[in-house]
């Protein structure tokens, strides 16, 4: 691990055992760790006792450190000559704003490396028993965000997102799920298209609600799912029951309530 270098490290969606070998090594060698809100306590516990820890987490509408401030912080740390790990949930380059941080470092000629991580779409869907592609059900996948830049309204080309053989994965879409569902249906997506919401995916606190694109917003409200929640839409969601393998401690409470009703 080189001094005076910033390592943009993907920590995966939550399960510490999904860390890559390289990510784990860099965390253990770090002198400074700048970490996001979604970094689990189990992963934080891997940071060396002598390392400086800097929290740079964000929640919707609440940014203690603006992205520009985080960019400048990483630059200052790089210039301090210390071994710096910028620890980000999932993958740094998938809705993680890692590209902006790398761009800022590159512009100022500060050394950096990017360490990919398991993105939420891959990790959370797998732990929910939902393959992103499956012969006869989905041959393409699209990742979209559920909110716009600086928490502005989303403005997707909705008709372009409606495809019979595509799995649609929505990051950060819990707060706008009702609008997303209505927009997709208005653009031509069948109302009975299977859809899932996965809260705290890959962790012991994982909860998931399975329904259709039409009724998922109501189910999510009833279950009171909270961020981080990933939305998966498409025919592949119909495999969730048959392929269920992960059994978290909170499993099933909400879905069972719907069945009982």
Which CATH number is 174's domain given?
A: 3.30.950.10
Task: Count the residues in the chain.
Answer: 261
Cα separation, 112 vs 110, in Å, equals 6
Choice among 22, 58, 165, 235 that is catalytic = 58
Residue 133 and residue 248 in one domain: yes
Residue 98 and residue 67 in one domain: yes
Residue 83 structural domain? 5-115
pLDDT at 150: 59
pLDDT at 153: 67
pLDDT digits (tens, 9 = 90+) for 116-141: 999 999 999 999 999 999 999 999 99
Residue ending a domain, among 115, 146, 168, is 115
Residue 243 and residue 148 in one domain: yes
Residue 99 and residue 156 in one domain: no
Q: Is 58 a catalytic residue?
A: yes
What residues contact 94, with CB distance under 8 A and at least 6 apart? 119, 120, 121, 143, 171
Residue 193 and residue 137 in one domain: yes
pLDDT at 85: 98
Q: Is 36 a catalytic residue?
A: yes
What residues contact 120, with CB distance under 8 A and at least 6 apart? 13, 89, 90, 94, 171, 201, 228, 230
Residue 146 has pLDDT above 60, yes or no: yes
Residue ending a domain, among 115, 130, 154, is 115
Residue 97 and residue 175 in one domain: no
pTM to 2 decimals?
0.91
Residue 259 has pLDDT above 60, yes or no: no
Contact 160, 189 (CB under 8 A): no
Q: What is the mean pLDDT of the chain?
A: 92
Task: Find residue 6's DSSP bridge partners.
Answer: 84, 112
pLDDT digits (tens, 9 = 90+) for 197-240: 999 999 999 999 999 999 999 999 999 999 999 999 999 999 99
Residue 170 and residue 77 in one domain: no
Average pLDDT of span 174-196? 97
Residue 135 and residue 243 in one domain: yes
Sign of the four-CA dihedral 74, 47, 66, 122: positive
Residue 94 and residue 142 in one domain: no
Provide the number of structural domains found in the chain: 2
Residue ending a domain, among 85, 115, 145, is 115
Residue 146 and residue 252 in one domain: yes
Choice among 15, 28, 36, 165 that is catalytic = 36
pLDDT digits (tens, 9 = 90+) for 79-128: 999 999 999 999 999 999 999 999 999 999 999 999 999 999 999 999 99
Q: Is 253 exposed, middle or buried (0-12, 13-18, 19+ CB in 10 A)?
A: exposed
């Amino acid at each position: 691990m080189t001094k005076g270098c910033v390592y943009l490290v993907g920590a995966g969606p939550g399960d510490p055992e999904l860390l890559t070998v390289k990510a784990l090594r860099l965390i253990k060698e770090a002198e400074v760790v700048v970490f996001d809100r979604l970094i689990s306590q189990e992963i934080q516990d891997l940071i060396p006792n002598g390392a400086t820890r800097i929290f740079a987490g964000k929640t919707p509408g609440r940014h203690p450190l603006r992205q520009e401030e985080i960019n400048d912080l990483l630059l200052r740390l790089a210039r301090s000559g210390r071994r710096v790990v910028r620890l980000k949930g999932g993958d740094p380059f998938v809705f993680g704003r890692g590209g902006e941080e790398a761009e800022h470092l590159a512009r100022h000629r500060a050394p950096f490396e990017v360490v990919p991580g398991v993105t939420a779409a891959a990790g959370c869907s797998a732990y929910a028993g939902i393959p992103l592609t499956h012969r006869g059900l989905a041959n393409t996948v699209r990742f979209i965000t559920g909110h716009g830049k600086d928490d502005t309204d989303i403005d997707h080309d909705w008709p372009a997102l409606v495809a019979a053989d595509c799995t649609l994965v929505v990051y950060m879409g819990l707060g706008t799920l009702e609008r997303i569902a209505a927009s997709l249906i208005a653009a031509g997506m069948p109302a009975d298209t299977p859809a899932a919401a996965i809260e705290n995916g890959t962790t012991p606190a994982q909860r998931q609600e399975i329904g259709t694109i039409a009724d998922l917003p109501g189910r999510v409200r009833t279950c009171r799912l909270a961020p981080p929640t990933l939305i998966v839409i498409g025919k592949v969601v119909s495999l969730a029951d048959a392929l269920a393998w992960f059994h978290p401690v909170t499993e099933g409470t909400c879905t069972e309530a719907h069945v009982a009703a």
